[in-house]
Amino acid sequence: MAVTTTTVAGSCAAAKRASRALATAPSDQRNAALAATARLLGERADQVLEANAADLADERAGGLTEALRDRLTLTPERVAAMAEGVRAVAALEDPVGEELDRRTLASGIDLRKVRVPLGVIAVVYEARPNVTIDCAALTIKSGNAIVLRGSSYAERSNGALAAIVREALAEAELPEDAVLLLEGGGREALAELAMQEGTIDLLIPRGGEGLKAAIKDVATVPVMYAAAGNCHVYVHADADLEMARRIAVNAKVQRPGVCNAAETLLVDAAVAARFLPAVLGDLHDAGVELVGDDRVRELAGGVEVGPAERADWETEYLGLKMAVAVVDSVEHAVEHVNEHGTGHSEAIVTEASGAAEEFVEGVDCAAVYVNASTRFTDGFEYGMGAEIGNSTQKLHARGPIGLRELTTFKYVARGDGQIRE
């Protein structure tokens, strides 16, 4: 196990010390730690799976929803995918030291703007052990240390994975404390982590609105929320309806317990009578519980659709449930999305370029799709290797949080004796 038993403050201070060594370590050394992590994941897969099986069998996991159990569950394929993700991160261009701008000032001073690590990242996350590896890989590559706080019901899995990364760091002659895993603790420990000014440079909570609210109440360190995803698919009047069926079902069903899964389907009134019976049948056959407005229920074609309450338009189900509404135009679809959505990912299916542009420009979100599933909002899919989460904020990052989102910059000025008059 790699769970630390020191205080929260002590762990954060240790991570701060480690971050200074990591920030100045050469790229080859950081990549060596990632290569060792990927190799050890393969060599220790059985140990990781054994730890995960114990977490799944623990009574603390007994009350999890099916979606959360899916998030918690590791398989040989998922462990192999983690290793592949680490290799993908290692292969990316190193962001540290990247020159963003350069110019000569009137004084003759040479001024460069260069990318540098943030320092210490803290991540609070729920039942997804792969987050342990994704976060560690991204922070090591970007020259940051990380303090991880996972769910108590994933403690064994997270501990086994963090131990692998710490061993890999030591093998690369980097400080093990660049990756620290805290014991779960309760609200008090979470509040203490959120108030570690001077050691934590950025806190990223990954979870629902409850976690977001708990952090907002107490945080004194900078916070970037990887928050809820109440995502929509809008089927326009000029959509290819067969394409729309595939996209709507994929966005909901392919992996319903994740933040980029669609929770609401909006259908233009002009095609609702033709489209709804088929797509509702597809969704029903896939096990999706459906709720809808009056027009949807009238056009359901025998498929069971319950009445939608206002709360349904606001809910991130993270499971096999979907709300469905009929709208009268692109404008009305945009209004619905902006009123009820969380600013994560939205999609329109249409053959009309004008409608596509109106939707793209109108919806306020981190990622918008034309004729594609919302399920693509993902750091790996975007070529980032992995992600720490998806930010629904606008500062300082929006969308998948990858390497460059874990950096800031400094100005480096070189002169030859200039003084200011």
Banded model confidence at residue 185, pLDDT cuts 50, 70, 90: low
Q: Which comes out higher in pLDDT, residue 393 or 104?
A: 104
The size of the chain, in residues, is 421
Looking at 32-46, 194-208, 241-255, which range is the least confident one? 194-208
- The kind and range of the H/E element at 159 are helix 155-171
Which residue ranges does the chain devote to CATH 3.40.605.10?
A: 3-226+388-414
Spatial contact of 11 and 180, defined as CB atoms under 8 Å apart: yes
| Mean predicted confidence (pLDDT) in 8-32 | 97
Q: So what's the pLDDT on residue 186?
A: 77
DSSP alpha helix (H) spans, 44-121: 45-57, 66-72, 76-91
Average pLDDT, the chain: 94
Report pTM.
0.87
| CATH fold for the domain made of 3-226+388-414 | Aldehyde Dehydrogenase; Chain A, domain 1 (3.40.605)
**348-389 pLDDT per residue, tens:** 999 999 999 999 999 999 999 999 999 999 988 998 888 888
CATH class label, 231-376: alpha beta
Which residue ranges does the chain devote to CATH 3.40.309.10?
A: 231-376
Looking at 29-33, 149-153, 166-170, 270-274, which range is the least confident one? 149-153
Residue with tokens 């039942």: 127
The pair of structure tokens assigned to 127 is 């039942």
Residue 87 has pLDDT above 60, yes or no: yes
Spatial contact of 296 and 305, defined as CB atoms under 8 Å apart: yes
Q: So what's the pLDDT on residue 60?
A: 85
| Mean predicted confidence (pLDDT) in 131-154 | 95
Residue 207 has pLDDT above 90, yes or no: no
